[in-house]
Amino acid sequence: MPPLRVLWVASEAAGFLKTGGLGDVVGSLPKALENRGMDVRIVMPLYRGIQWDELERLEGVLPVPMYYGEGRAAVRLGRLPGSAVPVYFVEHRGYFDRPHLYGPPEDAYADNLERFTFLSRAALELAKVLGFVPDVVHAHDWQTALVPAYVNILGRGSPLEGAATVFTIHNMAHQGIFESGAYFITGLGPGHFQPDELEHFGELNLMKGGIQHCTMLSTVSPNYAREIQLPAYGFGLDGVLAHRHDSLRGILNGIDTDEWDPAKDPFLARSYDAKNLSGKAVCKAALQREMGLPVRADVPIFSVVARLTPQKGLDVLAQALPRILEWDVQWVLLGSGEAAAEQFFTEVARLQGDRFRVHIGFDNGLAHRIEAGADFFVMPSRFEPCGLNQLYSLRYGTLPVVRATGGLVDTVANYDERNGGGTGFVFHDLNSGSLADTIGWAASTFYDRPHHLKTMRQRAMLQDFSWNRSAADYEKLYLEAYLRRSGHARR
């Protein structure tokens, strides 16, 4: 049997450029799919900041049908780092040679609909030019949500007509909503701007179109797949998702277990593993020195590495901090985002620098050292489709303190004081009292039940969150999509 052929269309990928979890998935999961024998190819934009000269420029020009006629793109070829997975970069300087992927912080480019329409059309045209006829086309988030519609509507009579489509939702909060007058940019014709397809309360909703047109639908954790069918988490599309529940699968994200491995992490002061945790104490002292905290082994370090946005619930942490910082604890925070949040946490560090230190911005090496040196990792998220930092924390024996939402429910088992069971500390109500109580519970465990802490750390570090597990589930999803689209199993 020839290998399963899968075309990925995405707006970012770790190893080149990324802004969040979507990029991490695109930069990692295809490697695991390749290891399972699939022929996976990725199409993404060629952004400013990618090393253009290190890519092979393919001959010719790719014509791309657009509402204004024919657009034109060059194509460059690279490989996903650490693999043979081809990555085709769509080169269009007007659309993608810009300072930001989607727009400046807390803003968006006014022509994002046109930019990602171009990417979606270009990916499918490129497959035809390459003679790559995919069994499955896999699109990701609102930026490529038009791809399933293009396969269904514009792919008729083309080599793509028989391709199944999978659409993965990484975050329901970002749906690609545009005013109705911009619909013509999609090139789909007025007949498809209706409630069963791309129209949602009078506006163009790209994610809705992807949900309605894809063969199969997935999201990044089993619990999030349940949550998004409820009004509290569906961001207005809960009814549409509930209608397609028989096609929806929740597949937990994995992590790159080579990059995130305390036994061989080059950023750490000392390596360690579940059998020998002594190196973690060395990493803790090194983190305290780096962040300007008193070097003490007898005090717990709580940590945060996050975007400073409402999704992450750090406003609730801000409300709880006055109470928490009365205790004998230390805190380190790494992140950037809303200006008010940056200013607040910077001021806390100025006033209480012996207990709270902050680094505004992002530093990958520091993120690794925080995961290794901290005792606890705090994620009071309002919603969390999967979450990656709690997975990194578990891998490093840094016990997560999390709210029971999304993928956090699927990955963190609550502590059992009776026997030391669990891998972290879980709370349900998002308010400052519940958060402070749970942080206090973790701190008391550090002080009063250190034998439980050690057992939990070792248990956490032995969990399997590799992409190999996820890849097997995606292979099942692709084969189910193929069966639904073709009417027969792949052979």
Q: What is the pLDDT of residue 1?
A: 77
Select from 122, 192, 138, 124 the least CA-distant residue to 170. Answer: 138
Q: Residue 337 pairs with which residues in a beta bridge?
A: 308
Amino acid identity of 387? Answer: G
Q: What is the pLDDT of residue 129?
A: 95
Q: What is the pLDDT of residue 228?
A: 97
Q: What is the pLDDT of residue 103?
A: 94
Q: What is the pLDDT of residue 69?
A: 95
Listed as ranges, residues in the chain with pLDDT below 50 are: none
pTM of the predicted model over 0.75: yes
Select from 420, 458, 401 the least CA-distant residue to 412. Answer: 401
Q: What is the pLDDT of residue 49?
A: 94
